[in-house]
Amino acid sequence: MLSTSTLVLLVVVAFLAGVGITAVGPGGIFVTVALFALTDVGSATVAGTALTTFVVTGVLGSYTYYRSGELKRRSGKRLATLVTVPSMFGAVVGALANAMLSDAAFGSMLTGFTALVGASIVYRERRALGSWWTVDPELPDGAAAIGVLAFVIGVVCGLLGVGGPVVTVPVLVLLGISMLDALAAAQVQSVFLSAFAAATYLIQGAVSLPLVVLVGVPELVGVVVGWRIAHRVDAGRLKVALGVTLVASGVLLAAT
């Protein structure tokens, strides 16, 4: 049984994670980190439980960005399709590969990934670095490049139990896609990527429904708050704050 303080901490982290999901993308990883650090469930259950919550947050996030117009445009729908379809297959590959990881290996990979994402966000924002190169999703070469990257993202997310927006939003922004369009596409991707991966974990009996409810509800509240923040607050400031928090989470994970 989890203590009251642990339950409260999980709820608070889940809410903040929901805010991060729709405000800047890399937010769901906090749920995975919290489940791994604060509960005694195995790594597969951590990943399966987190990914299950990301299905419902993705649905709500997609609705919010459809409502604000990003997913109503043809270009928005095309981008969402390009990042979603390949990532679904990659997610299954990653979820199956998770079975070969020990809890220690999972923890090490999650720690390194968390710190790396956070450090890269902070570095690029502080140095005011723009995109690596511009990719046009409307052109065949651009669509192919995004498709390949989406498959790789799916593998990583399925393996570590982190939502698609954690990786997809930073990658799309680095490819010259606007922040809001990247966030919108990543919400749609999260629904299907997480569903395919979560189903794989569910078949293995690696999903805790009580934990899904505990963290999923506050996540949904945070998703709505994050969507509003994304349209009102400078994204650069939010990304720096998120990056610093991710690095700190990686340090804390390394100490557990």
pLDDT at 213 over 80: yes
pLDDT > 90: percent of the chain: 55
Provide mean pLDDT across the span 13-26. 89
Provide mean pLDDT across the span 57-77. 95
Question: What pLDDT score does 107 carry?
Answer: 85
pLDDT in tens, 153-186: 999 889 988 877 878 887 888 788 888 898 999 9
Question: What pLDDT score does 255 carry?
Answer: 67
Provide mean pLDDT across the span 131-144. 81
How does residue 130 score in pLDDT terms, banded at 50, 70 and 90? low
Provide mean pLDDT across the span 141-154. 92
Question: What pLDDT score does 1 carry?
Answer: 79
Query: What is the residue range of 146's domain?
Result: 4-255
More confident residue, 113 or 75: 75
How does residue 132 score in pLDDT terms, banded at 50, 70 and 90? low
Structural domains in the chain (count): 1
- Return mean pLDDT, the chain: 88
How does residue 90 score in pLDDT terms, banded at 50, 70 and 90? very high
Return the minimum-mean-pLDDT range out of 58-72, 200-214, 230-244.
230-244
3-state secondary structure the chain: CCCHHHHHHHHHHHHHHHHHHHHCCCCCHHHHHHHHHHCCCCHHHHHHHHHHHHHHHHHHHHHHHHHCCCCCCHHHHHHHHHHHHHHHHHHHHHHHHHCCCCHHHHHHHHHHHHHHHHHHHHHHHHCCCCCCCCCCCCCHHHHHHHHHHHHHHHHHHHHHCCCHHHHHHHHHHHCCCCHHHHHHHHHHHHHHHHHHHHHHHHHCCCCCHHHHHHHHHHHHHHHHHHHHHHCCCCHHHHHHHHHHHHHHHHHHHHHC
pLDDT at 131 over 60: no
Q: What's the CA gap between 164 and 175, in Å, rounded?
A: 16
Comparing CA positions, the residue from 228, 86, 205, 238 lying closest to residue 153 is 86
pTM of the model: 0.86
pLDDT in tens, 186-211: 999 999 999 999 999 999 999 999 99
